[in-house]
Structure 1
Amino acid sequence: MAPAPTFADVLPVKQLSSHQYTVALENEWCIGTVPNGGYVTSAFLVVARTHMSLTHRSRAEPHPINLHLEFLRRTSIGPTLFTVKDVKLGARISNLHITLSQQEGPNDQWQDEVEGYITISNLGTEAGLSIDTDYELYPPVLPVDLNLLSRGQDPNYALRVEDPFAEFRRAAQNIQMFLIRPERRPAGRSKAIIDQWVRFAVGGNGPNGRWTNDALGFIVDIFPQIVESYVNPFVEEAALGQHSESELKEFLRSNEPRAKYWYPTLVLNLDVKKLLPPEGVEWLFVRVKAKAIRNGRFDLDVEVWDVQKELVATSSHSSLVVDASRNTTRKGKTKTAKL
């Protein structure tokens, strides 16, 4: 039996030289006309891993363990050029600087759009002091029965149905999000905290249910937007079945019939704590929280846990809140040039 496809199959990398690679960003992973920032982040992870396995294969350092990205300009669907600089090659830890560039403007000039530093090591052979800190999420996570959850019958979590702005948020259609049922949400729980169990949507554009470390960039940037629960609560309630389809259609007819806001990422940090199995896992738990939403800018803290209740990764974001027209009224630039 052939192994199940993983997120690396979503982002196939072609090596152009020892320090340059190309990846094609696809329309199905966009928010509006812009590739989802987590999808782009996963492209960086795959490129970094590919670079170490091809250019520095003797070092046995295949795993990105820390990443810092700055999104200088919005990316576009089509081919991208990743240029890698070996900042430091060490016996245990190496550091890479990677730049994503695309051809932009009337003269198709190359422009740097995302830059980042990635720390590489080997999660499978790491050794050193380990201490059980007894850290747990607070407020506590509601229990789950994954067998019942897969059938939509878990008493605490329900499937978030298709987004009413699915064409705008195409990237989110590649996964299934199971959120706390409204009637089970603990009293006093802030709307600035979102808990979700996530798996890939079967039959979608993703790898049909397998999360690997390559996909950690994507999973830390795909969730119901916290701002929406404040500014558009009716739509978020409808996504969990609190309103009928006809009620939602009537609401959209009499209100804003499109997604109101776009949330571009300025900076994204990722710290990887655990190596997932190479064949991937079906389920991961994600908690997202925001501390302050002010003057069109907000922060996000993200934690990813596996079914063994072990911390897989943490992430922090700095993001903007801008009108969705900033995304949709700018023509999406489909790159057709071959690298």
Structure 2
Amino acid sequence: METSKPMTPPSLYEALSVNIKCTQKGEYELLLPSSFCFGPRIFGGLVMSMVHQATESYFTENHPKFNQPHVISMQWQFFRQVYPSTAKLAIHDIHIGKSGSLLQATISQDGHACMMSLVNMANLQVSPGLTFKTDWKLDPPTIEASISSLAADCDPRWISYQTPYHPESFRRVQSYVKFYVPYEQQQSHIRDHWITPADPGVTFTTEMLGFLLDLSLPIIDNYLPGESTGGQIACIALGLEQKKDREAGITEVIDPSSGAFESPAVYLSLSTTIEIKKLMPARGAKWLFMRAYAKQIKDGRMSMEVVVFDESLDLVALSQQLCPIMELSRMKTSKESL
């Protein structure tokens, strides 16, 4: 049977390299392609990863003697939505120190500030200091998984799910990652997933962590099981359909509706903090484990934490997010400031 060839999104590597252009010291032009949109707006995780890349380049080029090549944390505030086009990034020194430094990064579009971050720089490969092993661990514990079985799509505890890519689909940005969802029903405030790049030629790098920490499957949909397509139960059902089609050799024609987001409500980010605890391997990583969980959902706001681990379940990064909850119909049409 002849099948259609799936559309593939533009390269994430390209977005983090050729789409960042230094125009003068501390100033950059960012090309924000529509393939990285969630609905009408640019996905904030992409911008955070682009700033990560640019600040490391800026600091290494302008302060080489301090040997602080790594972003170790970012504290973001979001004022206005960013749309597919170009944006300007301005980087300013706040404090340059012997063991750590602080930068300010501001994203603006059409003359208006949209996002701002304080960025801490240090050297994660040379960090002398006290180290103690704590007893902290995920609670509830992770569901057992075999990486080789996940890769072969045959782990009895996990099902793969991937958002189809179409340049006009609502949540096309999620097409960059293949998610693995547990069959075992979890508490509603938790979303666990193993993730791997949708493009087999890609690996996850340290610079991509901002992008990944903002990309978890939606928690709010677990509370709206009959009204959404993004909750755990819905993702399992869609994953099983995708697996059945693959086994039958069927590749469906991908249209904008196949990447739709059917839910009465979605959440954005008002503020986000990111801490990077461990560098990715130089060659990148193929597999990461991610848990997103809501600490509170109240009065139209959700307090959420996202943690990312490597294959050995060593902590790689974490993020705290304050998320206003919005009606989907308003998000599609409104360009108001948050």
Q: So what's the TM-score if we normalise by structure 2?
A: 0.83
- Residue 220 of structure 2 contacts residue 266 of structure 2 at CA under 8 Å; is this kept in 1? no
**One of 107, 123, 127 as aligned partner of 1:100:** 107
Q: What does residue 52 of structure 1 align with?
A: 59
Matched, 1:306 2:310: yes
Using a 3 Å threshold, how does the CA distance of structure 1 residues 8 and 49 change in structure 2: closer, same or farther?
farther
Mapping of residues 118-197 of structure 1, within 5 Å: 118-162=119-163, 167-181=169-183, 184-185=184-185, 189-197=186-194
Equivalent in the alignment of 1:224: 217
Once the 2 structures are TM-superposed, how far is the Cα of residue 114 of structure 1 from its aligned partner? Answer: 0.2
Whether 1:61 and 2:68 are equivalent positions in the alignment is: yes
Read off the aligned partner of 2:172 and give its amino acid letter.
R
Question: After the TM superposition, which residues 1-339 of structure 1 pair with which residues of structure 2 at under 5 Å, given as runs?
Answer: 8-12=13-17, 13-103=20-110, 110-162=111-163, 167-181=169-183, 184-185=184-185, 189-202=186-199, 208-233=201-226, 235=229, 236=231, 237-241=233-237, 258-330=262-334
Q: Distance in 1 between matches of 2:286 and 2:14?
A: 16
Instruction: Provide, for residues 275-327 of structure 1, a one-character-per-residue CA deviation record: whole Å limited to 9, x for no partner.
Output: 11122100110111002111211011111100122100111000111112233
**Closer, same or farther: CA 131–271 of 1 in aligned 2, 3 Å:** same
Q: Compared with structure 1, are the counterparts of its residues 266 and 257 closer, same or farther at alpha carbon in structure 2 (3 Å cutoff)? A: closer
Indicate if the aligned counterparts of 1:238 and 1:244 stay in contact, CA closer than 8 A.
Answer: no
Counterpart-to-counterpart distance in 1, 2:96 and 2:335:
41
**1:64-91 CA distance string (max 9 Å, x none):** 0011000010011111111111001111
What is the alpha-carbon distance in structure 1 between the residues aligned to residue 202 and residue 140 of structure 2? 28
Conserved? CA contact 1:100–1:114, under 8 Å: yes
Aligned positions, number? 304
Residue 63 of structure 1 deviates from its aligned partner by 0.6
Indicate the larger mover: 21-30 or 228-237. 228-237
Deviations 1:219-264 (A, max 9, x none): 111121011111144623332127869xxxxxxx9xx984432321
1:98 to partner: Cα distance? 0.7
Write the distance in 1 (CA, Å) between the matches of 2:39 and 2:261: 15
SS state at 2:271 partner: strand
Provide structure 1 residue ranges, at least 5 long, that are not aligned to the other structure: 104-109, 246-252, 333-339
How many Å separate the matches in 2 of 1:49 and 1:6? 21
Worse-matched range after superposition: 67-76 or 157-166: 157-166
Instruction: Kindly provide the amino acid, as one letter, of the partner of residue 48 in structure 1.
Output: T
Change (3 A) 1:257 1:288: closer
Q: 1:91 and 1:147 mapped to 2: Cα distance? A: 44
Identity of aligned residues (%): 25
CA drift of 1:97 comes to: 0.6
Q: 1:258 to 1:137 in 2, by over 3 A?
A: closer
How far 1:164 moved relative to its partner? Answer: 11
Residues 165, 175 of structure 2: 8 Å contact kept = no
What TM-score does the superposition give when structure 1 sets the normalisation length? Answer: 0.83
